[in-house]
Chains A and B, each alone.
Chain A
Amino acid sequence: AQSVTQLGSHVSVSEGALVLLRCNYSSSVPPYLFWYVQYPNQGLQLLLKYTSAATLVKGINGFEAEFKKSETSFHLTKPSAHMSDAAEYFCAVIPNAGGTSYGKLTFGQGTILTVHP
């Protein structure tokens, strides 16, 4: 069964600092991978996705993630944090079955990002 692990339930950075949120998956076949963001009292918004194309994926709001098969990782980064990035971030996977990227998402436990002035 697919599983996703997000290392660190809370990450705190200063405004302008690098953001690094970690995600590892367990699957013999690289799945489709996603990062979602949840702002307070809002739903889940798709940040970016990996679907077997380029290993470095750029998303919205300056975020990007790099798929590393050897490390079974899909870490999310942003070079310079902004106060508005404070939110909870979820890594999620869908099994890669026949080239379709829809299906049941399995989520990690989430990482709360705090940005200090």
Chain B
Amino acid sequence: EPEVTQTPSHQVTQMGQEVILRCVPISNHLYFYWYRQILGQKVEFLVSFYNNEISEKSEIFDDQFSVERPDGSNFTLKIRSTKLEDSAMYFCASSLGLTFFGPGTRLTVL
């Protein structure tokens, strides 16, 4: 069964460092998303991506965040200068009608 995959599963970084979270969406899907879940809080939408451009983004998705689909399979989320409050579980998702989520990357900013 096709699935969304994410790497790494855990990422620990120092405050101010750049991180790149990687995702491989389901191959025939056209819509790609990043969500995050801060510990103990609800899952929050960050950004959606369609036709090689951002289609919608939340207030959380400020200038320190960027997304890219560098080739036909990967979808990345870059956080340029991490802050303590960026510590969260980051979920990639893809959709062609139903949205399927990856297992998440747990980001810890020290």
A contacts, CB < 8 Å to B: 34, 36, 42-46, 49, 90, 92, 100-110
Instruction: Supply 11 further A-B pairs (C-beta < 8 A) apart from A103-B31, A104-B48.
Output: A42-B103, A42-B104, A43-B4, A43-B103, A44-B43, A46-B100, A100-B97, A103-B48, A105-B45, A105-B99, A107-B44
Distance of A43 Cα from B6 Cα, bound (Å)? 10
The answer to whether residues A108 and B42 also contact, given A43-B103, A103-B48 and a CB cut-off of 8 A, is yes
State the Cβ distance, B10 to closest chain A Cβ, in Å: 10
The answer to whether A109 touches B42, judged by C-beta atoms less than 8 angstroms apart, is yes
Count the B residues whose beta carbon is within 8 Å of the partner chain — how many?
A: 23
Tell whether A102 pairs with B44 under 8 Å between CB atoms, given A43-B91, A43-B102, A44-B91. no
Query: Closest CB-CB distance, B12 to chain A, in whole Å?
Result: 16
Q: List 20 A-B contacts (CB under 8 A).
A: A34-B99, A36-B101, A42-B104, A43-B103, A43-B104, A45-B101, A92-B43, A100-B97, A101-B97, A102-B96, A102-B99, A103-B31, A104-B33, A104-B45, A105-B93, A105-B99, A107-B42, A108-B42, A109-B42, A110-B42
Q: Which of A36, A46, A105 lies at the interface centre, i.e. has the most chain B CB atoms within 10 A of its CB?
A: A105
CA distance A106 to B56 in the complex (A): 13
Taking a contact as CB atoms under 8 Å apart, the answer to whether A44 and B101 are in contact is yes
List, in ascending order, chain A residues with CB within 8 A of B91's CB. 43-44
Select the residue from A36, A104, A110 with max chain B CB neighbours within 10 A.
A104
Is there contact, CB below 8 Å, between A102 and B100?
Answer: no
Which chain B residues lie closer than 8 Å to A104 at the CB level? Answer: 33, 45, 48, 56
